């Protein structure tokens, strides 16, 4: 079993990552940042998104563990004060995992060239200036012409991020689905969209054909040049992200901790 440590550049995270590497070597664990079996992310949820994208070409066999240097997040089960317990769990790893669905984004250029991307959280298409105009297709047919600031398409685990801020629903990651939410859509007697989040199951696509220019295409922490994009397609990926889960924290408990706090 080989292990990688992926940390952000905060001083506290660098110190924790260094101490973690020392403890892992003391226990005879092999640190290999090139082709690991398990990736330990040290930082926050954003750091884990970075780790996911860094090892995205290896996700079929890589499992992730999140160690938070602040408070617990949606993807991080361990605190920096729990290094001993984490290393002990790594030492006794038996392949246990929990898997979550991913978003597959296909970008089709006007030349016909296709590019594929995976997102753990979401993809966002946004117009920084002016109004984004785009035709939305569902089931192979035009569903609506969107006008507004943009749209976000999220995975179930990403549904608690930008999607929730847009008024989207929080989806349990056991659901194999993606969700499209609108960002400041224009709705009046002339222009009309559904105005509600759309939840699309596996094997169906959301297709977006932009009718305006100079928009931004972002996925997790990445950005795609929008020049000459003809079409964007969103679907539940055939691939999943795998987490080495040594102790289970219920998803709804995570949501409660993040947004409501403990109820006495």
Do residues 74 and 157 touch, judged by C-beta distance below 8 A? yes
45 is catalytic: yes
pLDDT band at 215 (very low <50, low <70, confident <90, very high): very high
pLDDT digits (tens, 9 = 90+) for 60-89: 999 999 999 876 677 888 988 999 999 999
pLDDT at 121: 96
More confident: 128 or 18: 18
Helix or strand or coil: residue 58? helix
For the beta carbon of residue 110, count every other beta carbon within 10 angstroms: 10
**From its phi and psi, is residue 140 left (phi > 0), alpha (psi between -120 and 50) or beta?**
left
Kindly state the average pLDDT of the residues 253-263.
Answer: 78
* Dist. CA 175–CA 2, nearest whole Å: 31
pLDDT band at 227 (very low <50, low <70, confident <90, very high): confident
pLDDT band at 214 (very low <50, low <70, confident <90, very high): confident
pLDDT digits (tens, 9 = 90+) for 149-174: 999 999 999 999 999 999 999 999 99
* Dist. CA 20–CA 4, nearest whole Å: 11
Q: Does residue 92 have a pLDDT over 80? A: yes
Q: Does residue 263 have a pLDDT over 60? A: no
Kindly state the average pLDDT of the residues 47-69.
Answer: 95
How wide is the angle at C-alpha 34 spanned by C-alphas 77 and 248, nearest 5°?
Answer: 15
* Dist. CA 245–CA 243, nearest whole Å: 6
* Catalytic choice (10, 32, 45, 60): 45
For the beta carbon of residue 70, count every other beta carbon within 10 angstroms: 14
Kindly state the average pLDDT of the residues 195-205.
Answer: 95
* Dist. CA 93–CA 40, nearest whole Å: 13
Q: Does residue 107 have a pLDDT over 90? A: yes
pLDDT at 153: 98
Do residues 46 and 161 touch, judged by C-beta distance below 8 A? no
Kindly state the average pLDDT of the residues 233-238.
Answer: 98
Average pLDDT of the chain, as a whole number: 93
Map 23-57 to HEC letters: HHHHCCCEECCCCCCEEEEEECHHHHHHHHHHCHH
* Dist. CA 197–CA 127, nearest whole Å: 19
Do residues 136 and 144 touch, judged by C-beta distance below 8 A? yes
Q: Does residue 262 have a pLDDT over 70? A: no
Q: What is the pTM of this model?
A: 0.93
DSSP string, 1-20: -EEEEEE-S-HHHHHHHHHH
* Dist. CA 13–CA 41, nearest whole Å: 10
């Amino acid at each position: 079993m080989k292990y990688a440590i992926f940390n952000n550049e905060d001083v506290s995270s660098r110190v924790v990552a260094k101490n973690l590497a020392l403890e892992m070597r003391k226990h005879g664990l092999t640190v290999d940042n090139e082709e690991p079996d398990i990736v330990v992310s040290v930082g926050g949820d954003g750091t884990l998104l970075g780790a996911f994208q860094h090892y995205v070409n290896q996700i079929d066999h890589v499992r992730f563990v999140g160690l938070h240097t602040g408070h617990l997040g949606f993807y991080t089960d361990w605190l920096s004060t729990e290094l001993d317990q984490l290393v002990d769990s790594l030492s006794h790893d038996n392949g246990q995992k929990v898997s979550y669905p991913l978003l597959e984004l296909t970008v089709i250029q006007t030349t016909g060239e296709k590019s594929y991307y995976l997102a753990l959280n979401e993809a966002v298409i946004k117009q920084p200036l002016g109004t984004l105009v785009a035709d939305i297709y569902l089931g192979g047919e035009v569903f609506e012409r969107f006008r507004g600031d943009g749209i976000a398409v999220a995975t179930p685990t990403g549904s608690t991020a930008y999607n929730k801020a847009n008024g989207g629903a929080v989806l349990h990651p056991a659901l194999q689905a993606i969700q499209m939410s609108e960002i400041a859509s224009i709705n009046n007697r002339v222009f009309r969209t559904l105005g509600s989040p759309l939840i699309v199951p596996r094997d169906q696509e959301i297709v977006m054909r932009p009718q305006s220019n100079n928009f931004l295409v972002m996925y997790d922490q990445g950005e795609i040049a929008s020049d000459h994009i003809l079409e964007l397609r969103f679907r539940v990926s055939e691939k999943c992200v795998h987490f080495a889960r040594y102790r289970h924290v219920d998803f709804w408990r995570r949501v409660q901790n993040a947004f409501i706090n403990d109820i006495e």
